[in-house]
Amino acid sequence: MRWPGGRRTKTAEVTREAVLDALKAVRGPDGTGDLVGLGLVSDIVVSDGKVIFSITVPAERARELEPMRQAAERAVRAVPGVVQAMVALTAERRGGSAASAPPRGSPMAGPGPAAPPAAGGAPQKPGVPGVGAIVAVASGKGGVGKSTTAVNLALALQAIGLKVGMLDADIYGPSLPRLLHLSGKPEPLHGRVLKPLDGYGMKVMSMGFLVDEDTPMIWRGPMVVSALTQMLREVAWGELDVIVVDMPPGTGDAQLTMAQQVPLAGAVIVSTPQDLALIDARKGLNMFRRVDVPVLGIVENMSYFVCPHCGGRSDIFGHGGAEAEAARIGAPFLGAVPLHMEIRERSDSGMPVVIADPDGPHATIYKEIARRVWDGVEAHRAGGAQRAPSIVIEE
């Protein structure tokens, strides 16, 4: 995938058929046939003049087929109405095979040289220049308030004096544009590097800035991996103490990509107290542990409800389940966040409660969680760098 510079907006409506017609003029990998006729084009998304798609190629040929990718990009950008074309070479790899690495500077590789092997043969995961730590906020399932927790945690880390950025890694359901009341497109700075948007003093990047809110991202795993890698490594983050990553729910490609390619300082697991949520949270926690990512702790979200009229407390989803799970597995319990109208309303309005009421009781809870998270980051940092796990993702 590539993030080319902006062009003059055209008036013609772009259709999927027009994109496919343009790609029929691009020859296939061996100079015979065309990309469409060979069935190599997939994952086409058309939104507001922007076209995103992938070309499936053998992993070992990614280097030599970069000119073909460029030809496909040029062909689509010439279609009337196209403002941007973002193209990825999606590699097919046989399980257990050692495919050639993509060239430095290609759309399949992050900038900079490969990291040298660490002692014992495992390569060190390359970091993001200028960024001190990267923390993933994850959950085993959706609907537990992970994104709301992530954005308030990031703002709380900023409130305690850190320079913070946020990456929305939920390609299929990005939430940060709405949670931070952000709109507009990232500006290209130089080459493929984009300028992140500013959200209450934080640098923010999300797929939601690049496609319309109602546009479905019908992508296979490798396309998600390519987009996620670029949003992390081809954005001008500058000097930051920490990037908070709002992960998609579950234990899929995005989590594996972050664990394999990024030196995560740790992961925060968000769950509600009920047993069903805890079962899935346990899977997410075990996934991070298996790939040697420190678990900084568990947050119990929607922990209890206090009636604003009578002051009575109700444990709608149960109470204390996440804290008990943390004690059972030996992970830190970071805190309990109540189910409260103010948190929900502030999130929906695009002004999270840590910003809207920085001295209020809910902001205080998030700041305490932030301090515990940062204490965990510094403790693990003092214990030594993490090594990259050996992971093979098979199609």
Q: What is the mean pLDDT of the chain?
A: 77
pLDDT of residue 213: 64
| Residue 271 and residue 144 in contact, taking contact as beta carbons nearer than 8 Å | yes
pLDDT of residue 351: 94
| Residue 18 and residue 207 in contact, taking contact as beta carbons nearer than 8 Å | no
Regions of the chain with pLDDT less than 50 = 1-11, 93-123, 385-395
Name the CA dihedral angle for 310, 313, 154, 291, rounded to a multiple of 10 degrees: -170
pLDDT of residue 116: 42
Handedness of CA 377, 378, 379, 383 (dihedral sign): positive
The residue assigned the tokens 């998304």 is 45
pLDDT of residue 229: 77
pLDDT of residue 221: 62
Coil/strand/helix, residue 233: helix
| Residue 148 and residue 289 in contact, taking contact as beta carbons nearer than 8 Å | no
Domains of the chain: 16-92 (3.30.300.130), 131-382 (3.40.50.300)
pLDDT of residue 141: 63
pLDDT of residue 131: 93
